[in-house]
Amino acid sequence: MCDPTTAIAGASLALSAGSAIASAKAQDKLAKQNAVNAIAARNEDFRALGLQESQLQAQTTETILQNHRTAVNADAQARLSAGAAGVAGASVDAILADISSQESAADVQAQRNEQAQIAQIQQEKRGTAVGAINRIAAVQPSNPLAVGLTIGAGALDFASNQIKLRNTGVPKPLPYSSGGGKSASGEGSAR
């Protein structure tokens, strides 16, 4: 049977090891949940940015169509006005060419604006991805080596304390020898 001090020290070692293992499991669970949340947030941001990009493309298409309708109306108005005034030739052709040129310039500008805004959205997506990676990295899973070292340190402390107890504890009485009632130190027994 072991003495109470050893039993208490052993129980303390077991509790310390159990606590280190439970703490590691909790850290691992926290890290996994953090990663799940970061990925879900990133995916939601990607979805919102993708929707924004689609709306931008639809808006640009609508702008180009509106530019075309405006140009067609201006072209028809110029032709009608020229016909009513009896004007024909190079001056009418120059007006029609200018209308077409303005339509093309407006279309090019709308496409440039769209490309710039899409580039910005793509940059936001990259930033969102990096943010998710940083968020995941912020909560690391437990380190098995650190857990093992914690448990090992507790075991060494336990062993060290046991050695100290044996070396500084109450001296054990020497056994009596069978010859003449003298102890191992050579002294006689007092009876």
Q: How confident is the model at residue 73 (pLDDT cuts 50, 70, 90)?
A: very high
Share of the chain above pLDDT 90, in %: 55
List, as one string, the DSSP characters of 86-100: T--SHHHHHHHHHHH
CA geometry: angle at 45 spanning 51 and 33, to 5°?
A: 145
| Torsion region of 178: left, alpha or beta (phi above 0 gives left; psi -120 to 50 gives alpha) | alpha
Is it the case that residue 184 has pLDDT exceeding 50? no
81 to 30, 98, 103, 185: CA distances (angstroms) = 75, 16, 20, 138
Average of per-residue pLDDT across 22-37: 93
Instruction: Tell me the whole-structure pTM to 2 decimals.
Output: 0.64
Q: Which two tokens stand for residue 51?
A: 């929707």
- Cβ burial of 116 (10 Å; 0-12, 13-18, 19+) is exposed
Residue 191 pLDDT grade (very low, low, confident, very high; cuts 50, 70, 90): very low
Band (123; pLDDT cuts 50, 70, 90): very high
Please say if the pLDDT value at position 57 is more than 50: yes
Task: Identify the three-state secondary structure at position 111.
Answer: helix
Task: Tell me the pLDDT of the chain averaged across its residues.
Answer: 86
**Which amino acid, 50?**
G
First vs last C-alpha separation in the chain: 31
Question: Is the pLDDT reported for residue 167 higher than 70?
Answer: yes
* Of 34-43, 83-92, 112-121, 160-169, the least confident: 160-169
> Do residues 79 and 100 lie in contact, with contact meaning Cβ atoms separated by under 8 Å?
no
Closest CA to 135 of 67, 63, 45, 8: 45
Higher pLDDT, 36 or 169: 36
User: Where does the pLDDT of residue 171 fall: very low under 50, low under 70, confident under 90, or very high at 90 and above?
Assistant: low
Residue 185 DSSP label: T
Identify the residue whose tokens are 């710039």: 116
* d(C-alpha 153, C-alpha 104), whole Å: 77
How far is Cα of residue 59 from the mean position of the Cα atoms in its chain? 34
